[in-house]
Amino acid sequence: MNPSTYLRSAPRPDISKEPPGTTLENLYCLRCNRELEAGHKSVAVYMFAQTVGVRPRQKSAAQRICFCPQCSVSLAMGPPPEGAFNVAAWKMIREVVSADPALTAAAWETLRGVSGLLSDGDAASTLRPTGTGYFEF
């Protein structure tokens, strides 16, 4: 699947109908739709539009696009998507992910928490027999 599809808007569950300021909006990863809890590691891309050379200056409300650590690292390490907006967001994600290993470590820890997804580090467990030898993954 083309990574640029992850930067398009996707339907999200309704946010609470509580009075403003009493609850926080539930956030979801745009790519995998995993819920992002308040205070947990994630990457947010903010976008807004503003007129230039036109008075009075007009500015749109900012939109927040969120990615979980796993999707952030995956997008950052993948090829650039198609489209100017998507490439701009991809470059920002790459910059943030490469600036500090904490996000990569968070992604790795979450993957380790999924039973059986990653090995325990034993090299022998990564060798898989084939008809003529072994493939190493």
What's the start-to-end Cα distance of the chain, in Å? Answer: 22
Please give the model's pTM, rounded to 2 decimal places: 0.62
Burial of 83 (0-12, 13-18, 19+ CB in 10 A): middle
pLDDT winner (highest mean) among 2-6, 103-107, 116-120: 103-107
Burial of 59 (0-12, 13-18, 19+ CB in 10 A): exposed
Token output for 120? 């325990």
pLDDT, position 122: 52
Structural domains of the chain, count: 1
Q: What is the distance between the alpha carbons of residues 108 and 11, in angstroms, rounded to a whole number? A: 28
Amino acid identity of residue 40, one-letter, is: H
Token output for 1? 């699947």
Report the 10 Å Cβ neighbour count for 131. 4
C-beta of residue 6 within 8 angstroms of C-beta of residue 30: yes
Domain of residue 69 covers 3-136
| Predicted confidence (pLDDT) at residue 49 exceeds the cutoff of 90 | yes
Look at the block and give the residue holding tokens 């809890």. Answer: 37
| Predicted confidence (pLDDT) at residue 13 exceeds the cutoff of 50 | no
| Predicted confidence (pLDDT) at residue 8 exceeds the cutoff of 70 | no
Q: Helix, strand, or coil here: 126?
A: helix
Token output for 72? 């952030």
